[in-house]
Amino acid sequence: MEKRTAAITGIGAYVPDYILTNDELSQMVDTSDEWIMTRIGIKERRILKGDGLGTSYMAERAVKSLLEKTNTSPDEVDMLICGTVTPDMQFPATANIVSDLCGIKNAFGYDLNAGCSSFLYAMISASKYIESGTHKKVVVVGADKMSSIIDYTDRSTCAIFGDGAGAVLLEPSTEGYGLIDSTMRVDGSGRKHLHQVAGGSCYPASHETVDKRQHFVYQEGQPVFKAAVTHMAEVSSEIMQRNQIAPEDLAWLVPHQANMRIIEATANRMNIGKEKVMINIQKYGNTTSATLPLCLWEWEQQLRRGDNIIFATFGAGFTWGAAYMKWAYNG
């Protein structure tokens, strides 16, 4: 039997129009463009404005543009996974809402929450359905409205995050393109450094949780920073060695966009020159589940069939991982 792999055959994305600049943030909290650019490397981020608009609003637009670009009818999609930490509501899953909004009726799907690693976890999970032969057109969308859980009086977190969505179509390849190898990890002991206390079953919303500002992202930056650099470089190097990819054989590193210094340190440890690293953090900030597909979307025209690509991610959980993909088409 021919070996079947899961290849990306198209990319769609959506970012909101509103641009929150460092100068505007400097009027909200005690910070500066200089501090944010030096310590994080973000110039601006997009924010979804509008009453009642949630993550599904952006995911719908990303998925619709993906279906249009790839000439895919919603009826042909047989699975949709939505990676997100900011679902529209506790239930039903945002995947269900997005499927409905996009007219996807012959599919099943679910949400996957692995912090900032949600998209890569989702893409790897989806690839297993393709490899097994049970599913042929799978949409993976990473979308987050981080502005809905950010405390805009907390300078240590509010500069980092932005809103956005990106989606890919996965289809079977029998020519060796697509996801070749991956390593994903979780270490729940890291949860103390990065989490949202309230809104779940431990501390449902109450006046007290609102007063204590517990519905926002809580982050201890330094331990997260250290773990991100160590783990992303470790698993990425492991994947490269296992698949005998030397730095010169690599076309692109697609790293999670959390901090320019984390991206640079990861690439340095892997001996990858900056010219091979997809970086758009300066424009969008950390869009959590959307960072990787937003990079692919921006670089799509430069991608060539056969390019060796490494994805690397790290997020709340802690979760992290890397994947090796042989790109399937000329952008």
Q: How far is the CB of 60 from ligand UT7 (least distance, A)?
A: 24
Mention every residue, 6+ apart, whose C-beta is less than 8 A from residue 33.
21, 22, 23, 26, 43
Among the listed ranges 35-43, 89-97, 132-140, 206-214, the one in contact with ligand UT7 (CB under 6 A) is 35-43
Q: How far is the CB of 29 from ligand UT7 (least distance, A)?
A: 7
126, amino acid identity: A
Mention every residue, 6+ apart, whose C-beta is less than 8 A from residue 223.
190, 193
Of the listed 158, 193, 256, 295, which one is catalytic?
256
8-state DSSP, 164: E
Compare residues 97 and 229 and give the one whose CB is closer to ligand UT7: 229
Q: Per CB under 6 A, which of residues 142..201 are in contact with ligand UT7? A: 155-156, 159
Of the listed 96, 113, 259, 286, which one is catalytic?
286
40 binding ligand UT7? (CB under 6 A): yes
Among 77, 81, 116, 138, binds ligand UT7 (CB under 6 A): 116
280 binding ligand UT7? (CB under 6 A): no
Mention every residue, 6+ apart, whose C-beta is less than 8 A from residue 89.
54
Q: Cβ(193)–Cβ(42) under 8 Å?
A: no
Provide the mask over 286-325, with x wherever binding to ligand UT7 is found by CB under 6 A and - wherever it is not. x----------------------------x----------
Provide the mask over 246-275, with x wherever binding to ligand UT7 is found by CB under 6 A and - wherever it is not. ------------xx--x-------------
Q: How far is the CB of 254 from ligand UT7 (least distance, A)?
A: 15
230 binding ligand UT7? (CB under 6 A): no
Residue 286 is a catalytic residue = yes
Can you spell out the DSSP letters for 75-107? GG--EEEEE-SS-SSSSS-HHHHHHHHHT--S-
| Sheet-wide strand order for 319-326 | 178-186, 319-326, 308-315, 252-255
* 32: helix, strand or coil: coil
Q: What is the separation, in whole angstroms, between the first and last Cα of the chain?
A: 30
Residue 256 is a catalytic residue = yes
31 binding ligand UT7? (CB under 6 A): yes
8-state DSSP, 321: E
20 binding ligand UT7? (CB under 6 A): no
Q: Cβ(134)–Cβ(75) under 8 Å?
A: no
8-state DSSP, 289: G
79 binding ligand UT7? (CB under 6 A): no
* 52: helix, strand or coil: coil
Residue 158 is a catalytic residue = no
Of the listed 82, 116, 158, 295, which one is catalytic?
116
Whole-number Å distance between alpha carbons of 233 and 77: 35
Residues with active-site annotation: 116, 256, 286
Rule CB under 6 A: which residues touch ligand UT7?
Answer: 31, 35-36, 39-40, 116, 155-156, 159, 221-222, 224-225, 228, 258-259, 262, 286, 315
